[in-house]
A = this chain, B = another copy of it.
């Protein structure tokens, strides 16, 4: 059995948004401790990892199940959540559906067909990073949007104790520089200069679900995958994105 009650449906919506920007489907591995999911995006450039401990729920009861979900359909349903709705998720093993129930002034129920998505056995690789930056999501996302005006990829750099987001197009350039004492920086743990280039669309998708005051942990090195971690609605989200090989 699996039944989970979330006190604010809108918070859970953010978690589903974060995953659905990069993935078409996902396998929620539920157990008595909570829900976890690991998946690669369809082009195998990005890894998404999600952990929702049972403490994030108002009520939680579960055996071990793999619940395969079409994220596009789940996202559309979660978009129907209203401001003060409570959310109930309930596995209907007989019908092979996930019941998604909004409880506000009315009781609105969706029955979502399950997919045969097997769990992935993926792990977030345990990489040592030379640099770790804690930054407000809004400031980082703004720098990405700036870069978006000039090219479709962007360099994340550590240079001389500064964290730099840099893009160069055929004509124009954009550059945002964060110093350690910047208002948007919570902390910078700098080991060495570094530079990696990434597909901008992926970075935007990874950070889209964060509110501007959420704190991102960004780990970067030279020609290494970037790791971006943040908490949202009681869940921990971790994204890994492979660097572009610069020619």
The smallest beta-carbon distance between A60 and chain B, in angstroms, is 24
Q: Within 8 Å of chain B (Cβ to Cβ): is A184?
A: yes
Q: Contacting chain B: which of A13-21, A108-116, A225-233?
A: A108-116
A110 touches B173 (CB 8 A): yes
A121 in contact (CB, < 8 A) = no
Check B142 against A176 for contact (C-beta < 8 Å).
Answer: no
B106 touches A145 (CB 8 A): no
Inter-chain contacts of A183 with B (CB < 8 A): 105
The listed residue (B109, B112, B174) touching A110 by CB distance below 8 A is B174
Total A residues in contact with B, Cβ cutoff 8 Å: 33
Query: Residues of A at under 8 Å CB distance from B?
Result: 73, 76-77, 80, 82, 97, 105-113, 139, 142-143, 145-146, 149-150, 171-178, 182-184
A-B contact pairs, 18 of them (CB 8 A): A73-B171, A80-B142, A80-B146, A97-B172, A97-B173, A105-B139, A105-B182, A106-B142, A106-B182, A107-B176, A108-B174, A108-B175, A109-B175, A110-B146, A110-B150, A111-B173, A111-B174, A112-B171
